[in-house]
Structure 1
Amino acid sequence: MLRFEEIHAGYGRSIVLHGVSLTVPTDGVAAVLGHNGAGKSTLLRAAIGLIKPRSGLILLDGEDITKLAPHERVARGMAYVPQGQQSFPHLTTLENLQLVADGRADGKTAMAEALDMFPALTELLNRRAGLLSGGQRQQLALARALITRPRLLLLDEPTEGIQPSVVAEIEQTILGLASRGGMSVLLVEQHVGFALRAAQTYHVLEAGRVTSTGDGGAEAESTVRQALTV
């Protein structure tokens, strides 16, 4: 579905990614793990087009999208949920969802399906997003992305800073998306156990380089934890 080939990218004169190559499987999940500052978020920003690689290629279904603008990548079926439970704080939960659903032929149906995945939001439709808890805002951010019916979902630390009860719900939703097919996911996570349960493949980033790659699953956890302590 998505392939990075020898990507070098960064900010200004600072290079963060140094020749990163990895693949996201079709209808599957690839987890990217690593410590803070390893380049995980930079990788997602390069994928969606918010930063331009200095060199290398990004391919979506075999098409070179390296130079495409973010909106062109979204039109090709990509959706990005950045770190930090982002929303429009002065709009209600419903208005946040309608911003994405309006103008789509299947907007009402897609919004209803997204709310089915996060039933807690149905009781918060008239509450301003700025008054929601961090976990509720993260559910809202995920629901907004799912309304677009993406073929490829980019998730940056979806469980970071969220109360444990909501983390479990978000984990189950992502695991459900991963298992039902029809969507690929590039998951950046620090919770190793959850990431490996969801992923078919994993990649460990260290200082902007891939230092370990393998198949997902619980049996890979010790290998990944060892790679993260090196």
Structure 2
Amino acid sequence: MLELQHLDAGYDSTRVLHSVSMHGSPHGIAAILGHNGAGKTTMLRAAIGLIRPSRGTVLFEGEDVTALSPSARVRRGMAYVPQGQQSFEQLTTRENLQVVADRRRGPRRAQLVDDALGRFPALTEVIDRRAGLLSGGQRQQLAIARALITEPKLLILDEPTEGIQPSVVAEIEQTIIGLSRDEGLSVLLAVQHIDFALHAAERYAVLAAGRVTRAGAGGAEAQRDVREAMAI
């Protein structure tokens, strides 16, 4: 689904990623792990096109999309939920969802908001509340629901459970797993929560100082290697 090949990328003259390569997991979950400052967000921003790499290639469904804008990548089926539970704070939950649905075309347009609410039932309880008044967990669910309205093939999530109460973390994690397992959605997520990432992910990569230090298949057998890599 997504493949990054030898990416160098950063901000102005500061290089953050150093020849980073990673294969996503078609119809599965791939996890990028690493401490703060390791380069995870830069890697995701390069994947969606918010940062143009100075070297390397981004492939999506076998197509070179390195030169495409973020909007062009979204039209091809990529969606990105950045860190920070972003939303239109002055709009209600319903309005936040509807503003995305109104940009869609086709016969399912009217159903998209209901589908999003079906994935996050807790949002129905705050459907008419302004987003700026929601809890962190509710805003994160809203941010993911907004991305899903675009009907992506690949969902890119940056720290989707950071700073959220444990009960909501579990709900978000189960939704992510269900989207991949039941709906065939490919997911790429950056996380520090090792247990969830390796339990859910079919593939993983560990970043440190902008370089991939470990990569492989997820699962319980990978946890020791990842913990050792992140202890360095």
Which band: TM-score by shorter chain? over 0.9
Give the TM-score, by structure 2 length.
0.97
Aligned to 1:115: 117
Within the candidate set 185, 188, 192, 2:187 is matched to 185
Aligned to 1:26: 26
Q: 2:115 aligns to what SS in structure 1?
A: helix
Is 1:212 equivalent to 2:214 in the alignment?
A: yes
Q: 1:149 aligns to what SS in structure 2?
A: coil
Aligned to 1:135: 137
Aligned to 1:153: 155
Correspondences of 1:1-230 after superposition (within 5 Å):
1-104=1-104, 105=106, 106-230=108-232
Cα-Cα RMSD: 0.9
Q: 1:136 aligns to what SS in structure 2?
A: helix
**Matched residue type, 1:3:** E
CA contact (8 A) 1:115 1:122 kept: yes
Q: 2:68 aligns to what SS in structure 1?
A: coil
Give the TM-score, by structure 1 length.
0.98
Query: Identity over the aligned pairs, expressed in percent?
Result: 64
In structure 1, distance between residues paired with 2:110 and 2:201: 30
CA contact (8 A) 1:46 1:52 kept: yes
In structure 2, distance between residues paired with 1:198 and 1:150: 19
In structure 2, distance between residues paired with 1:27 and 1:92: 32
Q: 1:46 aligns to what SS in structure 2?
A: helix
Q: 1:148 aligns to what SS in structure 2?
A: coil
Q: CA shift at 1:198, angstroms?
A: 1.2
In structure 1, distance between residues paired with 2:197 and 2:80: 17
CA contact (8 A) 1:197 1:216 kept: yes
- Runs (4+) of structure 1 moved beyond 3 Å? none
Q: CA shift at 1:181, angstroms?
A: 4.3
Gaps of 5+ in 1: none
Moved more, 178-187 or 53-62: 178-187
**Matched residue type, 2:42:** T
In structure 2, distance between residues paired with 1:60 and 1:151: 10
Task: Give the count of matched residue pairs.
Answer: 230
In structure 2, distance between residues paired with 1:130 and 1:142: 16
Q: 1:37 aligns to what SS in structure 2?
A: coil
Gaps of 5+ in 2: none
CA contact (8 A) 1:28 1:181 kept: no
* Partner deviation per Cα, 1:77-119 (whole Å, 9 max, x = no partner): 0000000000000010000000111142222222211111110
**Matched residue type, 1:12:** D
